[in-house]
Amino acid sequence: MHIHILGICGTFMGGIAALAQASGHRVTGCDAHVYPPMSEQLDRLGIQLLEGYGADQLTLRPDLWVVGNAVSRGNPLMEAILDAGQPYTSGPQWLAEHVLASRWVLAVAGTHGKTTTTSMLAWILDHAGLNPGFLIGGVPVDFGETARLGKAPFFVVEADEYDTAFFDKRSKFVHYRPRTAVLNNLEYDHADIFSDLTAIETQFHHLVRTVPGTGKLLVQAGSAALDRVLARGCWSLVEHFDVTTQQGWSAEGDEHHFRVLWRDQIQGEVQWRQMGAHNRANALAALAAARHAGVPAGLGCEALSAFAGVKRRMERRGEAGGVTVYDDFAHHPTAIATTIAGLRRGTHGHGRILAVFEPRSNTMKLGTIKSRLPDALQDADLSFGYSGGLDWNLAETLAPLGARARTHADLGALVADVVGETLPGDHILVMSNGSFGGVHAKLLQALQKRSSSDASVA
């Protein structure tokens, strides 16, 4: 079968392309901007990419059009498909019907930590020799790719609550029918499609309804929102996890060396380089889910001790002039606060943290939760916000931070300001869910130039 994917350079749709090709289909695709990292992954796979959504692509005559949720009515190619009466489907539905239908699906849902937890879970199963399939919304360093068909029965999928397509407004994850489901946490997000937290809780309960009675839910302990979801009805086995919970899976120890406990019984130890209490909670979720698939927790701990992490999740991008630059996907106030706290603990308080962030997600652009930004950035020594493209006043929002926060609408001015404030031993933490105009490389180049200039003067 020939399938043509609209919006192929999104991480999810690019993963669909890789899985379709591995399943024996001929795959082509298009996007408004053919961009990395997915463009590079697809190029390695030999998948033809077309720039734009021209109606002339109808001449490709694929057997099926697979439509990403970035495509809306008015898109010229989509309008041509509709006018011609061509067969089309969504990415999640294609995945459910062509890949997941015969698999033991392990799905990871939650407002935060989905990509990292999914990566951990896939890595544990792989370490155990199970060769799982997976589809992840990021690039796990251990695999170097976002998707793999793997071998039956296990398939690990990042289960996103965002809507499926313009013609299917249900959350993506309702298509997946998992046997094992992780509910990592739940907060208000995606203000562009959800009116309030209750609306998101409804979608999460739709997911809960699809888990069989012999399946299992791994649920973060202490989440009032998730408690409300389960209170609506739950027909599956439930295990709870959190770093300090006494209800199920917990951890004791420090940042990089901790013991894993199940109901106060030690199951194994993890020694790794990952930062933050949130990653220990992610690890517990992954271990619990893997055990449901038959992997002993001790073996899972062994796997996590070798876990290399995920690109753009506290990824060290380089160092220049004694200043280290990190990249992280954090874009929600809770994730921003957690990421800063994780770096603070991971560096043991040595050196200042300069937070450089871009409010780029649809929720942040709408300004729905902008009032939470000052508290989220409180633990950074200095904060630099990029205000380009915002319809609300970022400087006014950050006013409670006083002189510790600055904003710039020009990226070059932002880079110059950040570099001008750095001292040897500082840590620059860049946070955005986009490419942020290549600011990481710009910062490193400017730092290196300043260092070289200082050396020549000396």
Q: Say what the pLDDT of residue 448 is.
A: 87
Q: Which helix (H) or strand (E) holds 328?
A: strand 323-328
Confidence of residue 329 (pLDDT cuts 50, 70, 90): confident
Q: What is the mean pLDDT of residues 429-439?
A: 86
Q: How confident is the model at residue 360 (pLDDT cuts 50, 70, 90)?
A: confident
Return the pLDDT at 35: 62
Structural fold of domain 315-457: Protein-Tyrosine Phosphatase; Chain A (3.90.190)
pLDDT band at 299 (very low <50, low <70, confident <90, very high): very high
* Rounded percentage of the chain residues whose pLDDT exceeds 90: 69
pLDDT (average), residues 237-252: 89
Domain ranges in the chain are 2-90, 102-305, 315-457
- pLDDT value of position 281: 92
Give the CATH superfamily of 2-90: NAD(P)-binding Rossmann-like Domain (3.40.50.720)
* Residue 314 in this model has a pLDDT that exceeds 80: no
**What topology does CATH give the domain 102-305?**
UDP-N-acetylmuramoyl-L-alanine:D-glutamate ligase (3.40.1190)
pLDDT tens for 33-81 read 766 667 788 889 999 999 999 999 999 999 999 999 999 999 999 999 9
Q: Would you say residue 452 has pLDDT above 80?
A: no
Q: What is the pLDDT of residue 338?
A: 83
Confidence of residue 237 (pLDDT cuts 50, 70, 90): very high
Tokens encoding 203? 């979608």
Contact 109, 200 (CB under 8 A): no
pLDDT at site 194: 84
d(CA 72, CA 79): 9
What is the chain's length?
458
Q: Give tens-digit pLDDT for 76-128.
A: 999 999 999 999 999 999 999 999 999 999 999 998 889 999 999 999 999 99
Coil, strand, or helix at residue 101?
Answer: coil
Task: Check whether 18 has a pLDDT greater than 70.
Answer: yes
Model confidence at 243: pLDDT above 80: yes
Enumerate the H helices of 293-354 as residue ranges.
Answer: 297-305, 333-346
- The rounded radius of gyration (Å) of the Cα atoms in the chain is 22
User: Phi/psi of residue 218, each to 5°?
Assistant: -105, 115
pLDDT at 36: 65
Confidence of residue 168 (pLDDT cuts 50, 70, 90): very high
Contacts of 42 (CB under 8 A, 6+ apart): 8, 9, 14, 17, 18, 29, 49
- The confidence score (pLDDT) of residue 458 equals 54
State how far the Cα of 446 lies from the Cα of 450, in Å rounded to an integer.
Answer: 6
**pLDDT confidence band for 357 (50 / 70 / 90):** very high
Pairing state between β 427-431 and 353-357: parallel
- Residue 266 in this model has a pLDDT that exceeds 70: yes
Torsion angle of C-alpha atoms 432, 438, 440, 442, degrees rounded to 10: -140
Q: To the nearest whole percent, how much of the chain has pLDDT over 70?
A: 98
Comparing 334 with 379, the larger pLDDT belongs to 379
